[in-house]
Amino acid sequence: MNKDKGRKTRGEVSPDPSQSSTKPCTHLFPVGSFLAACLLSFPPAFFLSSCNGEDPPAISPPADATTEILTRAPLSEELSSLHVFVYNDDSLRRLDSYHEFNPGDDKLLRCTSRSGKKIFAAVANLDVSGMDWREISSFEALEKLMADFREEDPDYPVMTGIVKAEAGNPVPLTMELKRLMSTIRITSVSADFKGREYDGAVIEDAKAYLININGRCEVFREGGFTQTEMVNFHSGEDSESLPHPEMVSCPIGDIGDSPFSPGISFYCYPNDTGDDTVSAPMTRLVIEGKVRGVRYFWPVNITVGRNLRYDVKISITRTGTDSPDLPADPASLEAVCSVAPWIERDEQVVSFRIRRSTMGERTKSTDPDENLITDLHLYIFNSDDLLEEMRYLKGSALKQDGNGVSTNVTLLRNARYSVYAVANAGYYLKGIKDKEDLLAFRYHLVYPDEFRTGIPMSGYVEDFRCGDKETLNLDLVRMMAKVSLKMDRTGLDQGVKVIVRSVQVGGCPNSAKLFGKSKAETVRDVFSSGFDKTWKQLDPLNADKSLGISGEVGVYMLENMQGDLLEGNTSQEDKVFPDGDLHAKVCSYLELKMEYYSPSKNTAAGKYLIYRFFLGEGPGNFDVVRNCHYHYTVKVSGDGLSGTGWRVDKSALE
């Protein structure tokens, strides 16, 4: 966004019929603009006498009090201008002095005035330089000061503040500057047409925009805002006439049945009477798009107050109306809107990066792309472990770069958060309402090689304080392990030939926790037939890369942390379980099926010599850890038939 610090919103005063019957009030300055006269005559303040339409003003007594004011603006907002008006706090409430401060001035303002009870009124980012002093000669007149939405800038929003105190107060006064605008954020949107004749359709080429925006507002008003001049940008087409059209209109893309956050924040002036009439309609948030070639509109009425944040979740269930001006059928969508004070939040860029070196590059086209990210769930919990924000991003909403993906989130400055991310789930994860739900959630695969959308990944950062860094790096960890295998045939007897035709993962988990250690608990937690590779996919195992040593192939599986189950075992040959032991079903192993040829024995047609061995980190351990790359070498020597039982099945030999 282009920030033009020289830009100011022009202020106006609403008409006061009572002034039409009085003569112009005489002021102490040369003919010309009010502020120009002030600055030439009495920098940094000027003083006015009390006056009426009949008598000329008397010369004011000199200033005898200096009041310090500490202004507090929302942290991310910048100032292009700041004006402070000082009024007598009495029955007439006439203007005493005026001060203009530069954007670079210290936030502790020093305002000179005459002594007594005063009203200090500040206006930020509003151009008042063209006004005649009579338009603001009293506090009642200042309250009619108006701003135009069409001249607003979201980086320099109009803000006001008022504080009453005795002039010359020894303790600095604190003045909170409040925005006139409010913000409307679309935090989630989806379109699920289940059970309709257009079941499975998506809303294509969708866009969002605001209509019936209040065009002009009194800047010091706190409530009871009515439409004074309506601003409309139907279909967002006319919004380009605004200096900042992104304030009211933004494309979304396609909307499907998976809720996602489009990252849209709109801005508008208050319109809070709740009336929805032809002459003064309510402000509306409109979703527009096509369903199977037909254009529809889904308008949502919002009662907009001042300096508030509206978070809107929209679930569309039916086709909409023919016009954004027609109220939406309540059955066509569900819009949940939460309202809160627009507490200052800083924008924090959260970058998710995958470390590519951990598992290496893929070796075959049938292997998954180990670095692919096609969707992302983002969960942000506050210090009480309550879900502050959730986003589901996919498609064009994912900002990809060479290191991974990134997205912007808006968080409270100096607040502490835990940030959790899940990538490549392939679908929207339902039922997660808090951190406990997330940590207990098990992600399920339908098939052992279901990674067409990428390997499922997760990662988190605990106790992150917003403001410590502009960018938060969060490394995603693959929930799968990769097991690579090669053959060593250097010790085989002459005439013995072993050809690998199948490599399969036994005890292959069908689900895993998103976070924390995960393992298969029962036989229902493993696939009946695990991840495998066969025939042509195993060519590297049947060709020497060096003398007697084959190439390598990899298989994949979800984490299976079974732990140390055979304490004291020191031999791989003894890494087995007795018949009937549950661990034999839920611990992970590799099974190799091979054609066998030798001078004395061969495998029968269509049958195989079978090798099996359990995975793990040692003879007694059965852990297969997520995001780890294991390398195994199967060494066959002699006649290749040593070993018995479950580990070496020779029943197919003839």
Q: Among 298-307, 322-331, 507-516, 517-526, name the one with the lowest average pLDDT.
A: 322-331
Residue keyed to tokens 């801005």: 267
Dihedrals phi, psi of 279, to nearest 5 degrees:
-85, -25
486: pLDDT confidence band, cut at 50, 70 and 90? very high
Q: What's the pLDDT at 586?
A: 97
Q: Which of the pair, 608 or 29, is modelled with greater confidence?
A: 608
3-state secondary structure of 295: strand
Dihedrals phi, psi of 377, to nearest 5 degrees:
-95, 130
Residue 201 pLDDT > 90, yes or no?
Answer: yes
Tell me the H-state helices in 21-146.
34-41, 139-142
3-state secondary structure of 247: helix
Q: Among 96-110, 388-402, 479-493, name the one with the lowest average pLDDT.
A: 388-402
Amino acid type, 479: M
* Cut 0.75: pTM above it: no
Contact between 182 and 304 (Cβ < 8 Å): yes
State the sign of the Cα–Cα–Cα–Cα dihedral 493, 495, 499, 504: negative
Structure tokens at 507: 């005890």
Percent of the chain at pLDDT exceeding 90: 52
Asked if the bond preceding 56 is cis, omega within 30° of 0, the reply is no
Q: What's the pLDDT at 566?
A: 93
Q: State which fold the 480-649 domain adopts.
A: Immunoglobulin-like (2.60.40)
State the sign of the Cα–Cα–Cα–Cα dihedral 425, 426, 427, 428: positive
Domain boundaries for CATH 2.60.40.2580 within the chain: 9-179, 346-478
Residue 187 pLDDT > 50, yes or no?
Answer: yes
- Beta-ladder partners of 34: none
3-state secondary structure of 584: helix
Residue 30 pLDDT > 80, yes or no?
Answer: no
Q: Among 189-203, 283-297, 315-329, 377-391, name the one with the lowest average pLDDT.
A: 377-391
Q: What's the pLDDT at 60?
A: 47
Domain boundaries for CATH 2.60.40.3690 within the chain: 182-341
Structure tokens at 348: 């924090």
Q: Please give the average per-residue pLDDT across 253-267, as a whole number.
A: 86
Q: Please give the average per-residue pLDDT across 181-193, as a whole number.
A: 92
* Distance of alpha carbon 351 from alpha carbon 332, whole angstroms: 36
* Distance of alpha carbon 436 from alpha carbon 369, whole angstroms: 31
N-term to C-term CA, the chain: 78
Pairing of strands 648-649, 609-614: antiparallel
* Distance of alpha carbon 107 from alpha carbon 317, whole angstroms: 51
Q: Which of 504, 365, 374, 502 is nearest to 448 (CA)?
A: 504
Contact between 67 and 119 (Cβ < 8 Å): no
Q: Which of the pair, 411 or 620, is modelled with greater confidence?
A: 620
State the sign of the Cα–Cα–Cα–Cα dihedral 304, 82, 231, 287: negative
Q: Please give the average per-residue pLDDT across 32-47, as a whole number.
A: 34
Contact between 587 and 624 (Cβ < 8 Å): no
Q: What's the pLDDT at 369?
A: 82
Q: What's the pLDDT at 641?
A: 92
User: What are the Cα distances from residue 430, in Å, to 341, 437, 441, 632?
Assistant: 29, 10, 10, 38
Q: What's the pLDDT at 360?
A: 41
Residue keyed to tokens 């079978």: 610
CA 25, chain centre distance (Å):
55
Q: Please give the average per-residue pLDDT across 25-48, as a whole number.
A: 32
Neighbouring residues of 17: CB distance < 8 A, sequence distance ≥ 6: none
Domain 182-341, CATH among 1.10.10.10, 2.60.40.3690, 2.60.40.10, 3.40.190.10: 2.60.40.3690
Q: What's the pLDDT at 350?
A: 44
370: pLDDT confidence band, cut at 50, 70 and 90? confident
* Distance of alpha carbon 117 from alpha carbon 408, whole angstroms: 47
3-state secondary structure 3-50: CCCCCCEEEEECCCHHHHHCCCCCCCCCCCCHHHHHHHHCCCEEECCC
Q: Among 497-506, 510-519, 636-645, name the one with the lowest average pLDDT.
A: 636-645
Residue keyed to tokens 């990134």: 406
Pairing of strands 511-513, 442-444: antiparallel
Q: What's the pLDDT at 63?
A: 67
> What radius of gyration do the chain's Cα atoms show?
36
Q: Among 160-169, 341-350, 356-365, 479-488, name the one with the lowest average pLDDT.
A: 356-365
Structure tokens at 255: 């909307």
Q: 346-478 maps to which CATH number? A: 2.60.40.2580
* Distance of alpha carbon 3 from alpha carbon 463, whole angstroms: 33
CA 585, chain centre distance (Å):
42
Q: State which fold the 9-179 domain adopts.
A: Immunoglobulin-like (2.60.40)
Residue 261 pLDDT > 60, yes or no?
Answer: yes
CA angle 358, 419, 378 (to 5 degrees): 85
Residue 622 pLDDT > 60, yes or no?
Answer: yes
Residue 359 pLDDT > 80, yes or no?
Answer: no
User: What are the Cα distances from residue 63, in Å, to 111, 120, 166, 167, 175?
Assistant: 10, 15, 14, 10, 22
Mean of the per-residue pLDDT values for the chain? 82
Neighbouring residues of 646: CB distance < 8 A, sequence distance ≥ 6: 576, 584, 612
pLDDT in tens, 443-464: 999 999 887 778 999 999 898 8
Contact between 292 and 210 (Cβ < 8 Å): no
* Distance of alpha carbon 317 from alpha carbon 301, whole angstroms: 18
Q: What's the pLDDT at 38?
A: 35
Contact between 198 and 294 (Cβ < 8 Å): no
